[in-house]
């Protein structure tokens, strides 16, 4: 270890234990994701009916928790200032808005067209 | 005192390069959101096979996902070692991160080759076009990350990454974590919600 390293040795917090705990939680959450998928695709196993209908919400919640854990602890957002948190949060908001808007646009495109067509027909235009 | 105190003062109080990588990550969020949207919009609209449920190998991709998650743990441990001037910890965990990244790329190359032999190409159907575009761009990001981390590893072996320059590594680590969080979204959306 050089002198600069010794000088800075105690300036950075030791978080290795916390990182390992988060890693284990991420591993367990991934196992739960794959387990949910397997249960949903194997008729006859316990919780199959629930997972068959509720798989997508369960996966969304699990992946959101994993996403938040990595961003907060591994990317250090938990300890960073409001500017970096703001940049990332705003980007995530825009990204989510893009996904929801595009899905709404394409999934409901036909319904919107039919609705507008019926309205125009009703008004005689 | 933290890593920021080792760098010139800025009006934001945050090193400019760190602010730049976070802004870049923000723009990348929108890039991948667009690709994920395209995949979801085209989901279930392919007129000919192969279809996702016919060719996905969930156990293989689960191993790749676990490796990428562990690589995020390894790179943050390497950064911790770098900041503390512990060269052995820094290089050891960084080498593990690079290995995990290489295994992930290998998994994806195997998967793409397997799909190609099964008849799935970008031109075959909407699933092929949106799948290869989304996962291909992610794989490209992983490859760039591996090259970036490898260059830092070589610099570290030469002794050119002291704690005072830990920010150089922190920026690469942030990029690597972003690649990981993107996969955290892609894995369930593409592979587990395919029925």
Contact A36, B154 (CB under 8 A): no
* Integer Cα distance of B31 and B35 in angstroms: 7
Distance from CA of A118 to the nearest CA of B (A): 25
B26 touches chain A (CB under 8 A): yes
What is the model's pLDDT at position A122? 65
Among partner residues B6, B18, B181, which is closest to A71 by beta-carbon distance?
B181
SS3 for chain B is CCHHHHCCCCCCCCCHHHHHHHHHHHHHHHHHHHHHHHHHHHCCCCCCCCCHHHHCCHHHHHHHHHHHHHHHHHHHHHHHHHHCCCHHHHHHHHHHHHHHHHHHHHHHHHHHHHHHHCCCCCCCCHHHHHHHHHHHHHHHHHHHHHHHHHHHHHHHHCCCCCHHHHHHHHHHHHHHHHHHHHHHHHHHHHHHCCC
Contact B167, B3 (CB under 8 A): yes
For chain A, give the mean pLDDT: 83
Tokens of A63: 């992946």
CB contact under 8 A, A84 and B188: no
- Tens digits of per-residue pLDDT, A58-105? 999 999 999 999 999 999 999 888 999 999 999 999 999 999 998 888
- With tokens 């192969």, the residue in question is B50
Backbone angles phi, psi at A101, to 5 degrees: -65, -45
What is the model's pLDDT at position A80? 87
Name the helix (H) or strand (E) containing A122: helix A109-123
Q: Where are the domains of chain A?
A: 1-79, 81-125
Contact B122, B129 (CB under 8 A): yes
A114 touches chain B (CB under 8 A): no
What is the model's pLDDT at position B14? 85
Query: Where do the domains of chain B lie, and which CATH numbers do they carry?
Result: 11-44+57-192 (1.20.120.80)
Backbone angles phi, psi at B133, to 5 degrees: -65, -50
Distance from CA of B30 to the nearest CA of A (A): 5
Q: Is the pLDDT of residue A22 over 80?
A: yes
Q: Is the pLDDT of residue A47 over 90?
A: no
Q: Is the pLDDT of residue A43 over 70?
A: yes
CB contact under 8 A, B58 and A34: yes
What is the model's pLDDT at position B175? 97
What is the model's pLDDT at position B99? 97
* pTM attached to this predicted model: 0.87
- Among residues B122, B123, B107, B119, the alpha carbon closest in space to that of B191 is found at B107
Contact B83, B3 (CB under 8 A): yes
As for the ipTM of the complex, it is 0.89
Q: Is the pLDDT of residue A2 over 60?
A: no
- Among residues B158, B182, B3, B175, the alpha carbon closest in space to that of B75 is found at B175
Question: What residues contact residue B80 under an 8 Å CB cut-off, 6+ apart?
Answer: A12, A14, A15, A16, A19, B89
**Least reliable range by pLDDT among A51-55, A111-115, B10-14:** A111-115
B:146-175 residues touching chain A, CB 8 A cutoff: 159, 162-164, 166, 174
What is the model's pLDDT at position A9? 44
CB contact under 8 A, B181 and A103: no
- Among residues B64, B132, B172, B70, the alpha carbon closest in space to that of A34 is found at B64
* Integer Cα distance of A17 and A29 in angstroms: 19
B27 touches chain A (CB under 8 A): yes
Identify all chain A residues contacting B38, using CB atoms and an 8 Å cutoff. 102
**pLDDT band of A123, cuts 50, 70, 90:** low
What is the model's pLDDT at position A6? 43
Q: pLDDT 10s digit of each residue in chain B, 195 long? A: 455 555 677 887 888 999 999 999 999 999 999 999 999 998 888 888 788 888 988 999 999 999 999 999 999 999 999 998 899 999 999 999 999 999 999 999 999 999 999 999 999 899 999 999 999 999 999 999 999 999 999 999 999 888 888 999 999 999 999 999 999 999 999 999 876
**pLDDT band of A45, cuts 50, 70, 90:** confident
Rg (CA), chain B: 19
CB contact under 8 A, A23 and B69: yes
Beta strands in A6-123 (DSSP E): none
* Integer Cα distance of B34 and B40 in angstroms: 10
């Amino acid at each position: 270890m050089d002198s600069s390293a010794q000088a800075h040795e105690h300036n950075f917090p030791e978080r290795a234990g916390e990182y390992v705990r988060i890693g284990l939680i991420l591993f367990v959450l991934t196992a739960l994701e794959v387990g949910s998928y397997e249960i949903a695709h194997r008729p006859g196993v316990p919780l199959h009916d629930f997972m068959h209908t509720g798989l997508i919400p369960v996966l969304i919640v699990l992946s959101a928790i994993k996403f938040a854990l990595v961003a907060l602890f591994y990317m250090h957002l938990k300890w960073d200032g409001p500017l970096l948190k703001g940049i990332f949060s705003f980007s995530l908001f825009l990204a989510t808005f893009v996904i929801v808007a595009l899905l709404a646009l394409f999934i409901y495109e036909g319904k919107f067209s039919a609705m507008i067509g019926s309205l125009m027909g009703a008004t005689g235009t | 005192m933290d890593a920021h105190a080792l760098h010139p003062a800025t009006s934001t109080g945050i090193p400019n390069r760190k602010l730049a990588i976070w802004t870049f990550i923000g723009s990348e969020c929108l890039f991948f959101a667009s690709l994920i949207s395209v995949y979801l919009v085209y989901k279930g609209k392919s007129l000919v096979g192969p279809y996702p449920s016919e060719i996905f190998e969930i156990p293989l991709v689960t191993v790749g996902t676990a490796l990428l998650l562990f690589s995020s743990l390894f790179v943050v441990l390497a950064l911790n070692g770098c900041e503390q001037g512990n060269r052995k910890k820094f290089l050891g965990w960084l080498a593990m991160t690079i290995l995990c990244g290489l295994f992930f790329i290998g998994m994806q190359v195997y998967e793409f080759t397997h799909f190609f032999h099964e008849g799935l190409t970008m031109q075959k159907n909407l699933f092929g076009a949106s799948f290869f575009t989304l996962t291909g761009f992610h794989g490209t990001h992983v490859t760039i990350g591996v090259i970036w981390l490898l260059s830092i590893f070589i610099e570290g072996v030469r002794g050119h990454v002291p704690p005072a320059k830990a920010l150089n590594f922190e920026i690469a680590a942030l990029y690597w974590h972003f690649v990981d969080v993107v996969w955290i979204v892609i894995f369930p959306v593409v592979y587990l919600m395919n029925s």
